[in-house]
Copies of this chain bind each other. A is one copy, B any other.
Amino acid sequence: MKVSALLTSVGINIALCVVLLSLYSILRKQPGNFSVYFGRKLARERKRQKEGHFSFERFVPSPSWIVKAWGYTEDEILAIAGLDAVVFLRILIFSIQIFSVASFICILFVLPVNYLGQDGPHLHIPSENLDVFSIANVKKGSHWLWVHCVALYIISGFACALLYVQYRSIARMRLSHLAASPPNPSHFTILVRSIPKSTEKSLSESVMSFFSNYHASTYLSHQMIYRTGKVQKIMKNAENMYKKFVQIEHVGIDQTHGHHMAKCGLCGSISNSIQLRCRQVDIDIDKSSLEHEDSNTQKECTAAFVFFKNRYAAVVASKVLQTSNPMLWVTDLAPESRDVYWSNLWIPYEQLWMRRIAILIASIVFMFLFFPPVTFVQGLSELEQLQQMFPFLRKLLRTTFVTQVVTGYLPSVILMLFLYIVPPTMMLFSSIEGPISYSARKKSACCKVLYFTIWNVFFANVFTGSIISQINAISVPKDIPNQLAKAVPRQATFFITYVLTSGWASLSSEIVQLFPLAFNLIKKHIFRTKVDADSIPSFPYHTEVPRVVLFGLIGFVCSILAPLILPFLLVYFSLGYIVYKNQIVNVYCSKYETWGQMWPVVHNTIIFSLVLAQIIALGVFGIRDSPVASGFTIPLVIITLLFNTYCRRRFYPIFKNVSAQDVINMDREDEQMGRVEAILMELQKAYCQFPQKEEIALSSDGETDCNKNDGNEKKEECPVQVNLK
């Protein structure tokens, strides 16, 4: 690709971004889109959205949102959206920091070395090939490769220092926020699975006798988990249907206030609230009879929540092997009550490892099934191949502009579209795996998407795009550094366009929220349903973390090989910082909190990227006949790996365990403040498997679900019995 083609691509993308950002600044001012762009406010303030009056200002694009988003401090974000959001923004901050340093060094020192690598005259820059700016242009055995080696040392050193600072600071934040958070029922609770069945006593009695025998002084009570059978599922469907009706009914009630025309969007007849009320009673009767039936069919699972009198006891019970059969009485700290993935709790513990292996195999198969589309995409960047496949395109492709678009833009757009189906699939896989909490599911999906993206976007593109057939490259491990070293500089052009399209464009589409916007319009104008605060999405860490981290990987790998990519990346990360900050503050409503569990995953991936970059550099130095530079890179790899080992030992346990000192101090504080009684009272109502009945009764008061989750009335009527000791 030539510089002019790159500039075309940059032009298209800048235009697209400006258009979309301007569009956003207009759309966000329309009151009809309040639910799309201010979901969090909607959920928090329970503000009924109002039709604003027409004003000219509403249709003028303005950058005020950028200023607003920029203005939020980290403490404010922490208060608004929790630690997970802060950790996510920290990834962007880290990327901005390290790639500023990298850009400075590589543009100032490495780029000139690359450009002036070959003797002889240079073309006019726009018609210069992009390869001139990559390390491929440096002569073999050149002494200037030292510049690259030193640059690699500086970048790696800075990256490790910044990583250490971030890891330490996030670990501290996690600790201080766990310590400062109000008493959380999940700290007092463990989840026991694989309770042995006995013919003499019920499962519940088994739990009680076991814990009052071996944890006598601290055991408080327990709550069995029931298997939700088919009846339960039918009920759930009925409820959902019913909810829909209640919403329509509210539109009907609103009618008396004169705001809306209460027409059923599809048929146009006026809905009758009294009719609906009757229906509600019908469904309630159905429900109670179903529930009666249900209590017989509801089967106790071999799992239970066990409550303890203090946090330390719960931690101890979760850490110590309970019996000499490790497959029985398996204990774990319970997830937060809002985070419990109830429908997975009935899964027999013995099944879990098989599920995990099955999903592992399925994920690998899925990863390899994705190869054909990637290969096709790469075919596009080699036009001759495409012309052979579709001869009728030959004429069209003669136009320079079309060629530039096809080679510079189309491949990554197609790849991006293909990648859209990955996160839902991985989420499904993670659900089947059997995690006990939504956050664990999301984390697992995040890891899967991450591996998938790195493999299919980075490696597959590198190998299929280069001349070496991918099978040969994979099958000779010791040659991999060399093969990568040959292939990566060649693919640098693709990665630059990938940053422009997948990166910049994805940020713009993220902020405009195209899909929710369309969905909102359809819902409002065709179905005429009210906006549901329940449907406010939580932040999609499982798609965004892998994306941001992937760009980091591309950045590290290309930094010294093709430094031209760095400014584009820097723009991406800076824009991303503003966009995501805005989205976190305004759009998404986090339903659960993992207290920064995502960081170790990110840290490991960044280390992987660094080591990969170093190994590729090693190969490149080897190919360019600079054994000294190669030799000096090997200690760098070892030092980076040692640094990672240190970090894993120093910080990782903080994200996996709770320390005795901390929980004992928290317990003591509770005692001093005399709130133990209150905590223990509340504890037994915290986990509620079947809250639907009350929820629906309250729903008819016209309130949304989100609000009631904070109330206590519902919890007190939890239909599941808690077995007091």
Question: Does A653 touch B at the CB level, under 8 Å?
Answer: yes
Residues in B neighbouring A651, C-beta threshold 8 A = 326
Residues in B neighbouring A322, C-beta threshold 8 A = 659-661
Decide if A642 touches B477 in the complex (CB within 8 Å).
no
Decide if B475 touches A320 in the complex (CB within 8 Å).
no
Decide if A659 touches B475 in the complex (CB within 8 Å).
no
Residues in B neighbouring A479, C-beta threshold 8 A = 475
Decide if B476 touches A321 in the complex (CB within 8 Å).
no
Known contacts: A320-B316, A645-B353. The answer to whether A650 contacts B326 by CB under 8 A is: yes
Q: Which 5 pairs show the lowest CB-CB distances between chains A and B?
A: A326-B653, A321-B657, A321-B659, A323-B661, A324-B659
Residues in B neighbouring A652, C-beta threshold 8 A = 326
Residues in B neighbouring A660, C-beta threshold 8 A = 214, 320-323
Question: Does A679 touch B at the CB level, under 8 Å?
Answer: no
Which chain B residue has the least Cβ–Cβ distance from A665? B214
| A 200-222 to B, binary, CB cutoff 8 A, 1 in contact else 0 | 00000000000000100000000
Within 8 A of B (CB), among A596-654: 642, 645-646, 649-654
Residues in B neighbouring A658, C-beta threshold 8 A = 321
Question: Does A17 touch B at the CB level, under 8 Å?
Answer: no
Complex Cα gap A325–B354 (Å): 35
Residues in B neighbouring A646, C-beta threshold 8 A = 353
Within 8 A of B (CB), among A320-348: 320-327
Residues in B neighbouring A476, C-beta threshold 8 A = 475-476
Q: What is the interface of chain A mostly: helix, strand, loop, or mixed?
A: helix
Decide if A324 touches B664 in the complex (CB within 8 Å).
no
Q: How far is the CB of A217 from chain B (nearest CB, A)?
A: 10
A-side residues, CB < 8 A to B, are 175, 214, 315-316, 319-327, 353-354, 357, 475-479, 642, 645-646, 649-654, 657-662, 664
Neighbour of A649 across the interface among B214, B326, B659, B664, CB < 8 A:
B326
Q: How far is the CB of A5 from chain B (nearest CB, A)?
A: 38
Q: How far is the CB of A521 from chain B (nearest CB, A)?
A: 50
Q: How far is the CB of A642 from chain B (nearest CB, A)?
A: 7
Residues in B neighbouring A642, C-beta threshold 8 A = 354, 357
Complex Cα gap A646–B653 (Å): 26
By CB atoms of chain B within 10 A, which of A315, A650, A661 has the most?
A661
Complex Cα gap A326–B654 (Å): 7
Integer count of this chain's copies in the complex: 2
By CB atoms of chain B within 10 A, which of A214, A321, A478, A646 has the most?
A321
Q: How far is the CB of A651 from chain B (nearest CB, A)?
A: 8
Q: How far is the CB of A197 from chain B (nearest CB, A)?
A: 18
Residues in B neighbouring A650, C-beta threshold 8 A = 325-327
By CB atoms of chain B within 10 A, which of A323, A324, A645 has the most?
A324
Decide if A324 touches B357 in the complex (CB within 8 Å).
no
Residues in B neighbouring A353, C-beta threshold 8 A = 645-646, 649
Neighbour of A475 across the interface among B323, B477, B645, B654, CB < 8 A:
B477
Residues in B neighbouring A327, C-beta threshold 8 A = 649-650
Q: How far is the CB of A243 from chain B (nearest CB, A)?
A: 42
Complex Cα gap A477–B353 (Å): 28
Residues in B neighbouring A357, C-beta threshold 8 A = 642, 645
Could you write out 6 A-B pairs with CB less than 8 Å apart?
A175-B324, A326-B651, A326-B652, A327-B650, A354-B642, A357-B645
Residues in B neighbouring A475, C-beta threshold 8 A = 476-479
By CB atoms of chain B within 10 A, which of A175, A319, A323 has the most?
A319
Q: How far is the CB of A657 from chain B (nearest CB, A)?
A: 4
Residues in B neighbouring A657, C-beta threshold 8 A = 320-321, 326
Complex Cα gap A490–B660 (Å): 60
Residues in B neighbouring A662, C-beta threshold 8 A = 323-324
Decide if B321 touches A653 in the complex (CB within 8 Å).
yes
Q: How far is the CB of A365 from chain B (nearest CB, A)?
A: 14
Decide if A664 touches B320 in the complex (CB within 8 Å).
no
Which chain B residue has the least Cβ–Cβ distance from A315? B320
Complex Cα gap A193–B654 (Å): 18
Residues in B neighbouring A661, C-beta threshold 8 A = 214, 322-324
Residues in B neighbouring A653, C-beta threshold 8 A = 321, 326
Complex Cα gap A652–B353 (Å): 15
Which chain B residue has the least Cβ–Cβ distance from A650? B327
Complex Cα gap A478–B321 (Å): 41
Q: How far is the CB of A668 from chain B (nearest CB, A)?
A: 10
By CB atoms of chain B within 10 A, which of A315, A316, A664 has the most?
A316
Residues in B neighbouring A175, C-beta threshold 8 A = 324
Complex Cα gap A662–B325 (Å): 11
Residues in B neighbouring A645, C-beta threshold 8 A = 353, 357
Q: How far is the CB of A63 from chain B (nearest CB, A)?
A: 43
Complex Cα gap A658–B326 (Å): 10
Residues in B neighbouring A354, C-beta threshold 8 A = 642
Complex Cα gap A658–B478 (Å): 44
Complex Cα gap A21–B67 (Å): 92
Decide if B477 touches A323 in the complex (CB within 8 Å).
no
Kindly list 14 other residue pairs between chains A and B, CB separation below 8 angstroms, not including A316-B316, A327-B649: A175-B324, A214-B661, A316-B320, A321-B657, A326-B649, A326-B650, A326-B653, A353-B646, A353-B649, A354-B642, A357-B642, A475-B479, A476-B476, A477-B477
